[in-house]
Structure 1
Amino acid sequence: MSLVGKKPIEIPKGVKVQVKDGVVLVEGPKGKLSYTLSPRIKSEVKDNQVIVTRCADSKRDKSMHGLSRALIYNMVFGVDQGYKKELEVIGTGYKVQVQGETLNMNLGYSHPVSFPIPEGIKIEAPKQNQLVVTGIDKEKVGGTAAEIRAVCPPEPYKGKGIRYLGEHVKKKVGKAQATAK
């Protein structure tokens, strides 16, 4: 069996999980999510747990078994507690602010950069140099945070740019310092 796939998923209080025609529906206090299972993967709800099983033992079925279990777990966790990614903006004059459904960023370019906020994602800017991306879908939250970071990734000489909170950027020695030795 798959190491991940054989573990049952505990359903927390306030979360409802239904399996109908190969589609897993998860509903909780933060919202609703659905996932279509592979035809070779089966899922059922028993005793406040979700159990994921597979039809055969081929390598592809084993990998889909673990993947399906992990995605269903992420859905259950997301509708119960939600996901959050924090980003920090480092650089002189670098600022971010949320205006309606758009994130406006001044990142040292000759023009401000506008980023449309996707549906199902909430972005807050508690400070001018800090962003918090929240939502119930782990993939959307991580993808949105990665897209924002890609607008101005941290550069290796001064560390200016957008980075995840707590991310360590390995700095390079500048050309003048490297030849002075």
Structure 2
Amino acid sequence: MQLVENIDRIRSVHAKATAEAEKKICLWYLSEEKIALALFDEVRPAKEREGLVHSIQHKIDAEDPMKKRVMPFQQLKVTPISNLGTVKTARFFKIFGFDDDFGSHPVESWSENPNYRRCKQAVDGLNVVNDHAERSIKLIQDYNRLLTTKEAAFQNILLTVAEHKKTLPNVKKSTLAKKYSKYFNLS
């Protein structure tokens, strides 16, 4: 939620970047399953965590259960975390194979509950990574090193690729046939 506030603060500086960040936060980072992580944030007020448990146990989803909830960023800014949980949030516990029985007790007693401690330990051990982006960057870096080690040559390759993308926006057979039909019999 601190990130949400920070993004809102820098909106006037870089509107396009903040708009993209807003979409990603609403779609991926505050998903119904991931909002369960707030239960283990002991800095959060007990009342807020209890409210989140209540919304997980009682809020019914009107939408298709397979569909991701997309909340407008402006609404997210004014919605308390305790209202972001749904019955889908309980999937978090199923995914990790945890028992969520601690939610039926007052927050003050959670730290003594073995199920809560097991969940908290696992949550504290989670690493936040963006595997797809990291793998893509690594692949690109490895490929670039195979092409050339000289910066000038690398820049020329990038310029060539950019020009090529202008003339051939995709590599569909129909696009290639249009472009090169005068050179080959592509019927």
Between structure 1 and structure 2, the one with the greater Rg is: 2
In the superposition, the TM-score normalised over structure 2's length comes to 0.21
In the superposition, the TM-score normalised over structure 1's length comes to 0.22
- Normalized per residue, the structure richer in helix is 2
